[in-house]
Structure 1
């Protein structure tokens, strides 16, 4: 009989440490641009910080996937936490002594983005080693709840702490990485399998190519990245369009903040509801459901841009996201050999999120040239393409029955010591 996930010591240690760490990240995400604005008064300089972090995250994705597949994952997570702890503590000290500068903040954002990508990829890849295959979707759903919960609580807390003193949220984030570090150190089980790790050794280019081939030759994984790219673009783009349109209409920042809170709350509630959907709907049905629901609901949002009510349909789409993500990534973790977990995740994240990184710029152009409603309608149309692919294509239908049987032999193999 499978032990309850609540009694899985290793998973709960990792989950709790990351909950505190992601709360610190959410605080810092608000505090960094506020600090730049306090130093320079320039919105362009504040935007530079986010752009630098996003660029670093994209550029390091594929190399980090190889690294996670080749090194001890526990060690990778420890190194990432130690570097981020030192970086945020150092910047906190620089703020306290009036020595902080814009280049220092940009460097912090880049280091945080790279180490965050390393830790996140290693954590995703390690789940297969500490969670039974049958419980992977549930574990993913709990991780989704963690992410949405911290995204909801972190910014208000970060703003409050920044108001107390500018260095406080940075020091708080450093402490959150200490909590994450302790959690990783307390995990006893190894976080990677020995099976096949010696296979495919070679240069980074060859290793990255192996990960790319695995994703795009697997019908299911190929379908996921093709379907998710327009969906991610649309969700980021629509949220940005709503914020910009409300601002142009003279809506107060406090009310605009409520709109963003509605979207985050939808995701948090969806994470709690994810197990319910997973028990009743197949993975293929979940994938098609979120695509068609997003097409319809974002179309409705395009008609409501004069008020924060436009955020309600987006929140309903995000409500379905955790169940779909948990099922998709749970299946991905089950069908991917352990030695390829890092590379497959990196390829999927890169392809799925590359278009989303361009969404604010492209949607901003559309809002300026046409209107917020037109920009949201274009995003809804993009998701409609995903819905058609999900419905007509065979990728989601290629999910084989019981995944547990397909990986039973691999589960029985020995694992490395940590």
Structure 2
């Protein structure tokens, strides 16, 4: 039976709010600025490549470099982050990405940038990003208590949606008014701000000597064994990969549906901006209610609403209806990761980098596969069948999650 009952007060431990925890806020703020910078340059990059080559295929290939390098380097990066000093590796990673973006800006400024050089620079930026990104995700557990992880995930989701709201519009404005040079320079600056924020963190972000004299093969085997033997974490991650398959293409789907409704580009931008605002509000909502109410009920209801929301796209016969449904989904989608945020606390500190690298690799593969499959389905099956398949996949995900009630409640410590 689903009940929205409050959890007993003794279930909580009094701790400082996250915004008062200096080291966590430095990590969060630095990453937030970097997110905004990436969104700004993300608009300029395809426009620059199209102006240089006129080829959408080359533009897609260059943009895909980050995803390709992430999947190739994630697993060894996780090993190195556990073996070495995580903060130092993150500093190098962020500085490397910033320098790559700065070189792109300088090359554009002097009109000396070739497409081959752009390929190489995006490969360098993507490679450095792998270490910085996995380092950030694996550092959070060192700075945040397990019971506050859902709130930390909520704050991450809020800044991510804020970046989605602000970044593209600022990036488009910079490109249109002062040129792409400033877009890439802004992204470089955001990486350098992240470096400064990391320098001021004074808490340890790694376990000294965790992998001393342990070769990479043995270290990765240890992480893989833990992942497979920890049933709760394994089920959570595999479910999240299934969910990502269905949700990764949401913005793409909205653009296609809006185009079929003959909506202009400015209107599509407004729809996505409104949805980003809804994502911020939804993240704040779930971050607030998750510690207070029965999490299984919140999770089950939000999952069902998400599946139903996707199905409503079949009946979206106007841009207004499309905007309302999209905003609703953006508000609901962060709930799963926020409610289940403390499950990441299952990972032992000395395995954070390696297990996180497995998780993030699967995320990237699921995200890419979801985009490819939805694009294929829209092309050959049409909108209605594509939406029905996505809604069905989310319904299966909801059912699979609901069937693990005892395991989830045991993990949360809920009565």
Shared fold, TM over 0.5: yes
Residue 27 of structure 1 is matched in structure 2 by 40
Q: Deviations over 1:10-35 (max 9, x none)?
A: 11222222222211111011111111
Structure 2 unmatched runs, 5+: 1-13
Deviation at 1:368, TM superposition (A): 1.7
Q: TM (normalized to structure 1)?
A: 0.89
Separation (CA, whole Å) in 2 of partners of 1:375 and 1:27 = 30
Q: Which of these residues, 11, 23, 48, is aligned with residue 10 of structure 1?
A: 23
Cα distance, 1:192 vs structure 2: 1.8
Q: 1:282 to 1:214 in 2, by over 3 A?
A: farther
The residue matched to 2:75 in structure 1 has which SS? helix
- Stretches of structure 1 lacking an aligned partner (at least 5 in a row): 404-418
Change (3 A) 1:369 1:42: same
Asked if 1 retains the 8 angstrom alpha-carbon contact of 2:82 and 2:211, the reply is: no
- Give the match's secondary structure for 2:411: coil
Task: Quote the offset at 1:156 in angstroms.
Answer: 0.5
**1: CA distance between counterparts of 2:412 and 2:396?**
27
Alignment match, 2:202: 188
- 1:168 maps to 182
Q: Does 1:137 align with 2:150?
A: yes
| 1:100 partner SS | coil
How many Å separate the matches in 1 of 2:129 and 2:297?
Answer: 32
Whole-angstrom CA distance in 2 between matches of 1:46 and 1:82 = 25
Q: Give how far 1:249 is off.
A: 4.7
Tell me if the contact between 2:36 and 2:164 (Cα under 8 Å) persists in the aligned partners: yes
- Residues 245-291 of structure 1, C-alpha deviations (whole Å, 9 max, x = no match): 33345332222222322332222111221222212334433443332
Q: What is the aligned partner in structure 2 of residue 215 from structure 1?
A: 227
Q: Superposed, which structure 2 residues align to 1:10-409 within 5 Å?
A: 10-163=23-176, 164-194=178-208, 197-198=210-211, 202-304=214-316, 307=319, 309-332=321-344, 334-393=345-404, 396-397=407-408, 399-400=410-411, 402=413
Contact 1:283 1:396 in 2 (8 A): no
Alignment partners' CA distance in 2, 1:268 and 1:3: 22
Question: How many residue pairs end up in the alignment?
Answer: 400
- Contact 2:244/2:366 (8 A) holds in 1: yes
Work out whether residues 243 and 397 of structure 2, in 8 Å CA contact, stay in contact via their aligned partners in 1. Answer: yes
C-alpha distance in 1 between matches for 2:232 and 2:300: 13
Within 2, Cα distance between the matches of 1:11 and 1:100? 38
Counterpart Cα distance in 2 of 1:198 and 1:266: 43
1:223–1:378 CA distance, 2 compared to 1 (3 A): same
Q: Which runs of 4+ in 1 moved over 4 A?
A: none
RMSD: 2.3
Contact 1:246 1:308 in 2 (8 A): no
1:399 alignment partner, SS class: helix
